[in-house]
Amino acid sequence: MDQQDSQEQFINQMLSYGSIALFIFLPFFTLFLKLLYIRKKYTYVDHLIFVFHTQTVFFMLISIYFLLEIFRINPKFWIFTILFLIYLFLGMKNFYKQGYLKTFVKFCFLNTTYFFISCIGITIVGLLSFALF
């Protein structure tokens, strides 16, 4: 096996573990939303449906990005990131029915926390993929 095949196999293994980790992480993200909106009368399942919905949009945008890359259109990834963040902000505002300022503060807090937890998750997935490679 040459180095190119080895790298591709490692990346495929990381992507496989990453999708599993993302699926495992969603209930924890939902719990965090439940705690962030503790005064609202939404159940855990309501928050979980909201998270599944936003993650579906995220995966749709990522799929569109990769489809455009396959057809050599060369899209900019940051455009899809901004589209998702706008969608998430508007989704939080409409679902939780709060003002723009309160939603923005919670949005920033949520994304900052999600970023740090994601960094830890990516590190664990990378180490696990490397250990099992």
Q: What is the pLDDT of residues 89-115, one digit of tens each?
A: 999 999 999 999 999 999 999 999 888
Residue 2 belongs to some domain of the structure:
no
Residue 127 belongs to some domain of the structure:
yes
Residue 20: predicted pLDDT:
76
Residue 77 belongs to some domain of the structure:
yes
Residue 44 belongs to some domain of the structure:
yes
Residue 7 belongs to some domain of the structure:
no
Single out the residue of 92, 23, 14 nearest to residue 59, CA to CA.
23
Average pLDDT of the chain is 87
Residue 5 belongs to some domain of the structure:
no
CA 68 vs CA 22, 49, 56, 74, 81: distances in Å: 24, 29, 18, 7, 15
Residue 114's domain spans which residues?
A: 12-132
Side-chain half-sphere CA neighbours of 76 within 13 A: 4
Single out the residue of 31, 42, 41, 17 nearest to residue 123, CA to CA.
17
Q: To which residue do tokens 């190119």 refer?
A: 4
Residue 3 belongs to some domain of the structure:
no
* Torsion (CA) 84, 89, 95, 96 in degrees, nearest 10: 150
Q: What is the pLDDT of residues 68-93, one digit of tens each?
A: 988 988 889 999 999 999 999 999 99
- Tell me the C-alpha distance between 91 and 54, whole Å: 8
Task: Identify the band that residue 12 occupies on the pLDDT scale cut at 50, 70 and 90.
Answer: confident
| Structural domain count of the chain | 1
Residue 1 belongs to some domain of the structure:
no
The model carries a pTM of 0.81
